[in-house]
């Protein structure tokens, strides 16, 4: 092989080695921190993504990562968005601010957790861990298979919690109670509902930590946004994290089309796991998948060509041009013509075909949207974990034709970086946290998958 054609191979090997080193360095022994300084605990959807990265290195460690997350599972079945590391006391908002076990018996006393959840990607991760372990060796496959029944019961409780408490009217769309539950905190998706969330006059004082870690405040949510997030936490805590009460009185109540698409795909994955175990819930899980695929498909706005969230306090669709609008491509359910139009939109100048982009990846918000900001967190930057997830879901649905160019573009982005949390879309500048665990997992899965 010539020296020139050897270059991409060497580049890929370096990225793999770098990604593995990030996961090792962020591993406390029992959990992988979402990021070394900014997020020094275990986050829910991060842990699922990280477990897929770990499965390439050591499938047993991947299972242990999810087991640790499961130790934080609530009696209701909810998987909390953060499981706190007791050794790490400097994070804000930490377990005292959430005060979960203090206000509800549903929360575990140990480990301490937050009181909200995140998109349910976990069954998809487990599906992938099983496949990777089986591919690795018969022994690795057998070990993961032995672990699977316990994980399945945890996942089943989690999925049943979501249908029971987050879609009691069986609409096929999950409701979220806080912007953090979407995993896309300050996305323009939430501008309207948050504009109606009053900052509590008696909001207990606080000192942010994120803006001490990321020194450029423009890359993080604003002070007013943070006041609203913290008011939301306070409101949930005062409601005892009781979902029925929150549905009746919560200030922020929206359907989340991305989480719903994730849930549709994850229900399909969980039905497959149930079938492989001979479990009795296959039909129930397939029905969830079907219901949520339909709910997501029905959310497409003909004008924008994107699926939209809805503000349940006003009934109005939230007309933001964000990456979440491509939710139906993750789970399927569109008619052929509508899917073709959505793929064309994805490739258009409003999205991956925008001439200014450094890499043809999906920015978190369309650069053609008035809400776009190239450095502000979920308002424009590109997130490798999101592009990886889109690639993964498209390939899972047999749409390698759409996934292919995106796969190559995100790999180019990753090769330049420091496993950053997100990137400036026009320059590729790494932003937010460096050595972010899920970015490392994305690199491992894209290169070794
Ligand atoms: C709040 C850990 C998490 C991700 C979220 C991302 C960010 C936290 C924050 O970091 O959220 O939960 O402080 O902004 O928005 O998706 O899971 O990586």
Nearest CA residue ID for atom 8, ligand 1? 180
Sign of the CA dihedral running 29, 30, 31, 33: negative
Mutation choice for ligand 1 from 22, 35, 39, CB with most ligand atoms inside 8 A: 39
Question: Which residues participate in catalysis according to the annotation?
Answer: 185, 421
Percent of the chain with pLDDT over 90: 96
Q: Which atom of ligand 1 is nearest to the CA of 433?
A: 18
Residue 174 has pLDDT above 80, yes or no: yes
- Residue 33 DSSP one-character state: -
pLDDT digits (tens, 9 = 90+) for 384-403: 999 999 999 999 999 999 99
Sign of the CA dihedral running 32, 38, 39, 41: positive
Picking from 357, 375, 371, the residue whose alpha carbon sits closest to that of residue 413 is 357
Average pLDDT over residues 356-361: 98
Nearest CA residue ID for atom 12, ligand 1? 180
225 lines ligand 1 (CB under 6 A): no
Q: Which atom of ligand 1 is nearest to the CA of 221?
A: 14
pLDDT digits (tens, 9 = 90+) for 273-301: 999 999 999 999 999 999 999 999 999 99
Average pLDDT over residues 144-164: 98
Ligand 1 center from residue 39 Cα (angstroms): 8
Q: Which atom of ligand 1 is nearest to the CA of 44?
A: 17
Nearest CA residue ID for atom 6, ligand 1? 183
Average pLDDT over residues 334-354: 98
């Amino acid at each position: 092989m010539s020296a020139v054609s050897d270059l991409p191979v060497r580049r890929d090997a370096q990225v793999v080695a770098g990604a593995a080193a990030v996961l090792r360095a962020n591993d406390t022994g029992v959990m992988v921190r979402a990021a070394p300084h900014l997020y020094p605990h275990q986050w829910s959807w991060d842990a699922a993504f990280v477990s897929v990265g770990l499965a390439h290195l050591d499938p047993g460690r991947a299972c242990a990562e999810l087991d640790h997350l499961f130790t934080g599972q609530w009696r209701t079945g909810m998987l909390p968005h953060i499981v706190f590391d007791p050794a790490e006391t400097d994070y804000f908002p930490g377990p005292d601010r959430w005060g979960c076990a203090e206000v509800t018996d549903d929360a575990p006393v140990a480990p301490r957790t937050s009181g909200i959840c995140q998109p349910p990607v976990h069954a998809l991760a487990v599906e992938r861990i099983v496949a990777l372990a089986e591919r690795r060796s018969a022994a690795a496959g057998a070990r993961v298979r032995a672990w699977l029944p316990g994980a399945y019961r945890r996942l089943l409780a989690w999925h049943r919690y979501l249908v029971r408490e987050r879609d009691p009217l069986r609409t096929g769309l999950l409701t979220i109670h806080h912007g953090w539950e979407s995993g896309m905190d300050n996305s323009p998706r939430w501008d309207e509902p948050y504009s109606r969330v009053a900052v509590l006059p008696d909001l207990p004082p606080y000192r942010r930590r994120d803006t001490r870690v990321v020194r450029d405040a423009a890359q993080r949510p604003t002070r007013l946004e943070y006041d609203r997030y913290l008011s939301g936490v306070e409101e949930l805590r005062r409601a005892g994290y009781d979902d029925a009460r929150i549905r009746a009185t919560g200030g922020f109540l929206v359907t989340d089309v991305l989480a719903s698409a994730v849930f549709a795909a994850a229900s399909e994955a969980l039905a497959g796991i149930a079938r492989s175990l001979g479990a009795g819930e296959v039909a129930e899980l397939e029905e969830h998948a079907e219901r949520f695929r339909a709910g997501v498909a029905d959310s497409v706005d003909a004008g924008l060509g994107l699926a939209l969230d809805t503000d349940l306090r006003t009934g109005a669709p939230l007309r933001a041009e964000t990456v979440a609008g491509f939710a139906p491509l993750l789970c399927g359910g569109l008619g052929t013509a509508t899917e073709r139009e959505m793929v064309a939109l994805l490739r258009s100048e409003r999205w991956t075909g925008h001439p200014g982009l450094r890499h043809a990846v999906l920015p978190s918000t369309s650069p053609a949207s008035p809400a776009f900001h190239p450095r502000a967190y979920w308002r424009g930057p590109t997130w490798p974990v999101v592009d990886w997830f889109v690639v993964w879901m498209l390939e899972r649905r047999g749409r390698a034709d759409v996934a292919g160019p995106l796969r190559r573009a995100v790999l180019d982005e990753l090769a330049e970086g420091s496993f950053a949390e997100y990137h400036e879309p026009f320059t590729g500048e790494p932003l937010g946290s460096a050595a972010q665990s899920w970015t490392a997992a994305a690199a491992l899965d894209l290169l070794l998958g």
